[in-house]
Structure 1
Amino acid sequence: MRRTLTDLFSQALERAVTSGDLPRPDRQVHWKVELPRNPDHGDFATNLALVLGAAVRMPPRRVAEILKAHLEDPEGLVASTEVAGPGFLNVRLDPLAWTRVLAEVEREGADYGRSDVGQGRRVQVEFVSANPTGPLHVGHGRGAAVGDVLARLLEFAGFRVEREYYVNDAGNQMRILGRSVWFRCRELAGEAVTLPEDHYRGEYVRDLAREALGVFGSEWKGWSEQEAVERLGRWAGAKILEGIRDDLEAFGVRFDRWFSERSLHEAGAVEKALRLLEERGEAYRADGALWLRTTTHGDEKDRVLVKRDGSLTYFAADIAYHMDKLARGFDRVVDIWGADHHGYVPRMKASLAALGEDPDRLEVLLVQFVNLLRAGKPVGMSTRAGEFVTLREVVDEVGRDAARFLFLTRSCDAPLDFDLEVAKAQTADNPVFYVQYAHARVSSVFREAAKAGFGRPRAAEADLSRLCVEEERELLKLLYLFPEVVEEAALQREPHRLTFYLQDLAARFHGYYNRHRFLVDDPDLARARLCLAAAVQRVIANGLGILGVDAPDSM
């Protein structure tokens, strides 16, 4: 397992900081290694010095010179490094690296791109965590794809990962669910009722009420309103959660743990957290309520933990939940929330600081909204009104592969247009089809090669120096870059980098396929090109595997 260029530059940065040549950055910096737009600028380029300059308050070109001076390459892969433009570091590799990469892909197979950069550190990824008050919609699907693929990336990069779903099965939303089902039960029993505006109105609530009548018979009629709301809420929440589990399984998402909010209350964990905050002087009582001093830890205002009427806020339970997470010994906990929770991040970090924990142990990714389209026209969604398209409906219509891939075709902090017709199209407009077709095309090449008596040549037996046209060199660079992409996507918590990479690799392969023949009359050249095709196929398969998407041999 070779060290990536990301590793080499990260180590150069650490040496520069340790030696005192650079101050330690005052914040985390996000950088990448990529192919330069102009091949004359080298084989690869990194923007590390550019983004680091602001963090250490130094001119980027000076930072680049220092990093270059501290760069060590014991494997001798880097032929030269130069500082360019405002502070880019351009790298040229030894020509042997290009032939080595095909042997490396062949040797490592399904493990190509895997690394130990995580060094076994424990990371918990908590995602989806939708209230069990209705089916999952497409917005939840995007969060599910981001969380699941991030977990897969982290595992591929050497972290120990646990996936968790936080079940919000306590609080007001469960009471509203119970009342919604209760009203529908009464309606089905012939009573004239008017459902309150803030209650759940989807057809699924009527379905639950019909099922409840079969389960409870006429027993529910003897319950008080409070008992009916409590019992029907619990029962309906459990049924909805069962459906959520089934939908996520169909979407290829699994969890190691389903954590119940109710269990926190029953174990007294919330009261314990509040008591600890008061003992530390971080919580105080005013105006009949209990407040947390979040302003002392960077929040814009103090937050209520217990209201005047004695009821707990959701924030109080969330503090207890994150106390529990950190007590389990995770080095990092990554929460994936909807973009509408952006204001919640500083108060959650402030609560950890108030507990004496390092707030940087919590990372939050915000997932922006999905605009669901059909042939370019919006499809309306409103959870409470019941006018929404469920995740299961989307998966059933376009398939799991298309849904997972398309949810990751933009950074999670940017809104996403998801067109159902594009997702079903078997054309280059459909990104997942385009990538899968590249994998299938290689299989067709090898079926023809077998007929011609070639089979699958091994890299050690081929004259790889015959790969000398520009398209071949660009494909080799991309194959070399794959471990960098996986590592950066994991460390920067940006799974969309992998879909970008696969689309680029597929596009370059299709272009190469359309301009050059594999089974040429020159057997040495044919064998070299078949080795290249095999490596492209393996990397596409590995990338799709991390995404949880199939790599078909025919389409």
Structure 2
Amino acid sequence: MTPNELSDALRAALDAAVSDGTLALDASELPDEIRVERPRQREHGDWSTNVALQLAKKAGAQPRALAEDLARRLASVPGVRSADVAGPGFLNISLDAAAAGELARTVLDQGTAYGRGDAEAGRRVNLEFVSANPTGPIHIGGVRWAAVGDSLARVLEAAGAEVTREYYFNDHGAQIDRFAGSLLARARGQEPPEGGYGGQYVQDIADAVIADAAAAGDPDPLTLPDAEAQEVFRARGVDRMFTEIKVSLHGFGVDFDVYFHEDSLHESGAVDRAVARLRDAGHVYEQDGATWLRTTDFGDDKDRVVVKSDGEAAYIAGDIAYYLDKRERGATDVILMLGADHHGYVARLMAVCAAFGDVPGTNLQIIIGQMVNLLKDGEPFRMSKRAGNVVTLEDLVEAVGVDAARYALVRSSTDSTLDIDIDLLTRATNENPVFYVQYAHARTANVARNAADHGVRREDAFEPSLLVAETEASLLGALTEFPRVVAQAAELREPHRVARYLEALAGEYHKWYAECRVTPVGDEDVTDTHRTRLWLNDATRQVLANGLGLLGVSAPERM
């Protein structure tokens, strides 16, 4: 019996109580879904619900009396072994072994679809993440967003949402000008200008721009006037850098559906149209020669300049136009993933959302991520030789590999600063969380291979009533939780919940493996218990693979 089936049984019991007058409520006042949870203490049963506490006051009833009535009604439900009332009105429910064990068949029947649902169905999510300026390699903060953002997209899709992964290509403004100036200076054998970019990568790209020009039969950029030369380095250099960024992200398992160019907002007139729309709504005014957006009407601490007195668009003008563009492309949920240094932008962006008549926190959601610290031998991880002063995606992948890097970056809440021990992630021990989970999957595969060698075949029998060991009940309970974890991770925009779940599942599997054999010992005959345990082993394998897939981490067959 799955949590959904138990929830349906509880709802049916409540409907019956309403119909016979035991519960003085209208059926419309009952919750559509009765929430059941795993008790903290295993001896309290398989599932627990506080629905009696929720409804008693509204119905003018005693919570414990209502819980006792529900317990009597559940006693006749097939698969329910017992329903006991605890405390002021909690209902603890135990399933019989056969009902619990049926989950193994459910998991294997659904395969890769197990854990997927429709909690986010109908949501069209535009998820923007990474969006590093094309002025250098992706540093460690951007790498965290690459891992978390891609995992969040996978989780949202598993919950039924339609997701567009978007990268905002910042090819407009002073940073790009400084990058072009740095390339030109390096090509001339000079130091970058003040505020420019250093690192070996600048020299490498400058050399590549000259080589590209020669290969195309174009004039040597160094023979051109300064303004023309800088424009060549700007166009070719940014393109080179952005290509490298895309290649790095692809190697990290991250690809985008849309690469949106900031320049296009200004060139297409999107900025002017967005400002005009806000002016028509009465949210824009002129003062001191500049154009202002009255963001204080929507919770911001001060109004914001949209067009400066010199006629140049302020930075927020692009944000305004970009948000509107995403909504006009059909996004119901615009999700931005920003670094800790952007915390001050939240109020003004939410004010922009509200000024367009949208709902902050719903139509626009902003996730702020904290810093990442890499440690090796107890000391900060070495700086990148190529980037000069930052640790890059390539540095991390070179040190620990894609799987370990992605898993380590996604397994913690983005609200917290993340300390990553490089030494730990290279160890093949249970202290290494990604190894611990991947090894559990590899172990399930090894058990399946050994079972085949001993003639243990799933198709010969499945008797879920034989799964009576305590570790089997615990493992089945963990498998049951996977769809709920995925739905919650999607709802809260927290993919780290999937990683923590997988670690707990791996722990339950390792305990089960130590106590319950799938293959016979010595001359022992193959029994239905062996065959049924193989179902449970393979169901665990499927859920581990499904969960790792949501994190973009491989599920190895051997380790």
Fold shared by both chains (TM-score > 0.5): yes
Is the CA contact 1:174–1:234 (under 8 Å) kept in the aligned structure 2?
no
Kindly tell me: are residues 9 and 352 of structure 1, through their superposed partners in 2, closer, same or farther at Cα, counting changes over 3 Å?
farther
Percent identical pairs in the alignment equals 45
Q: CA deviation at 1:466?
A: 1.9
97, 101, 104: which one pairs with 1:102? 104
1:166-186 deviation line (CA, Å, top 9, x unaligned): 111111111111111111122
Secondary structure (helix, strand or coil) at the match of 2:458 reads coil
In structure 1, what is the Cα distance between the partners aligned to 2:50 and 2:378?
A: 36
Q: Deviations along 1:424-482, whole A, 9 cap, x unmatched?
A: 2111111111111111112222222222221x314x82222222121111001001111
Contact 2:99 2:464 in 1 (8 A): no
Q: Report the counterpart of residue 393 of structure 1 in structure 2.
A: 395
Structure 1 residue aligned with 2:159, among 157, 160, 183?
157
Summarize the Cα distance change of 1:517–1:143 in structure 2 as closer, same or farther, 3 Å threshold: same
Query: Match for residue 463 of structure 2?
Result: 463
Aligned to 1:443: 445
Indicate the larger mover: 34-43 or 163-172: 34-43
Taking the aligned partners of 2:8 and 2:175, their CA distance within structure 1 comes to: 50
Where 2:143 maps in the other structure, the secondary structure is helix
Deviation at 1:70, TM superposition (A): 11
Output the CA distance in 1 between the equivalents of 2:384 and 2:64. Answer: 50
CA contact (8 A) 1:5 1:33 kept: no
Distance 2:355 2:486 in 1: 35
Mapping of 1:66-465 within 5 angstroms?
92-93=94-95, 95-186=97-188, 188=189, 193-216=190-213, 219-359=220-360, 360-379=362-381, 386-454=388-456, 456-458=457-459, 461-465=461-465
Within 5 Å, which residues of 2 pair with 1:535-546?
535-546=539-550
Change (3 A) 1:160 1:90: farther
Aligned to 2:455, what secondary structure does the other structure show?
A: coil
Q: How many residues align?
A: 531
Task: State the SS of the aligned residue for 2:302.
Answer: coil
The CA distance in 2 between the partners of 1:169 and 1:310, in whole Å, is 20
User: RMSD in angstroms over aligned alpha carbons?
Assistant: 3.8
2:40 partner amino acid: R
Which residue of the other structure, out of 524, 533, 539, is the alignment partner of 2:537? 533
| Cα distance in 1 for residues equivalent to 2:278 and 2:257 | 30
Unaligned runs of 5+ in 1: 23-31
CA contact (8 A) 1:4 1:483 kept: no
In the alignment, what sits opposite 2:492? 492
Map 1:58-73 onto structure 2 (within 5 A): none
Cα distance per residue 1:177-206 (max 9 Å; x no partner): 1111111122x2xxxx44334111121111
Question: CA contact under 8 A between 2:126 and 2:333: conserved in structure 1?
Answer: yes
Q: 1:194 to 1:241 in 2, by over 3 A?
A: closer
Compared with structure 1, are the counterparts of its residues 220 and 417 closer, same or farther at alpha carbon in structure 2 (3 Å cutoff)? same
Q: Give the conservation status (yes or no) of the 8 Å contact 1:380–1:387.
A: no
Matches within 5 A, 1:25-36: 35-36=38-39
Partner of residue 481, structure 2: 481
Higher mean alpha-carbon deviation, 274-283 vs 258-267, is at 274-283
After alignment, is 247-256 or 76-85 more displaced?
76-85
User: 2:18 corresponds to which residue?
Assistant: none
Aligned partner of residue 551 in structure 1, secondary structure: coil
CA distance in 2, matches of 1:386, 1:17: 68
Q: Deviations over 1:373-395 (max 9, x none)?
A: 11332126699973222102322
Partners of 2:381 and 2:206 lie apart in 1 by 27
Evaluate the alpha carbon distance shift between residue 545 and residue 87 of structure 1 in structure 2; reply closer, same or farther with a 3 A threshold.
farther
Q: Secondary structure at the match of 1:117?
A: coil
> Aligned equivalents of 1:141 and 1:87: distance in 2?
48
Deviation of residue 216 (structure 1)? Answer: 3.8
> Could you list the per-position Cα deviations for residues 211-249 of structure 1 after superposition, in whole angstroms to 9, with x for gaps in the alignment?
223234664345444433333222211111101110111
- CA distance 1:393–1:374, change in 2 (3 Å): same
Structure 1 or 2, whichever has the larger Rg, is 2
| Residue ranges of structure 2 left out of the alignment (5+ in a row) | 16-24
Counterpart of 1:43 (choices 11, 31, 46) is 46
Matches of 2:376 and 2:356 in 1, distance apart?
48
User: What is the one-letter code of the residue matched to 1:213?
Assistant: I
CA distance in 2, matches of 1:149, 1:229: 39
User: Following TM superposition, by how much is the alpha carbon of 1:251 offset from its aligned partner in structure 2, in angstroms?
Assistant: 0.6
Provide TM-score, normalisation by structure 1. Answer: 0.85
Give CA deviations for 1:271-298 in whole Å, capped at 9, x if unaligned.
Answer: 1112222222211222332221111001
**What do residues 336-387 of structure 1 show as CA deviations (whole Å, max 9, x unaligned)?**
1112212212211111211223332111112221111113321266999732
TM-score normalised by the chain length of structure 2: 0.85
| 1:28 aligned residue | none
Match of 1:509 in 2: 509
Deviation per CA, 1:93-144: give whole Å up to 9, x if none. 5654312201101211121112122334322211111111111122211101
Cα separation, partners in 2 of 1:20 and 1:462, compared to 1, 3 Å: closer
> Structure 1 pair 447/265, CA: closer, same or farther in 2 (3 Å)?
same
The answer as to whether partners of 1:398 and 1:424 remain within 8 angstroms in 2 is yes
CA distance change for structure 1 residues 487 and 529 in 2, over 3 Å: closer, same or farther?
same
- Taking the aligned partners of 2:78 and 2:346, their CA distance within structure 1 comes to 44
Equivalent pair of 1:78/1:92 in contact (CA under 8 Å): yes
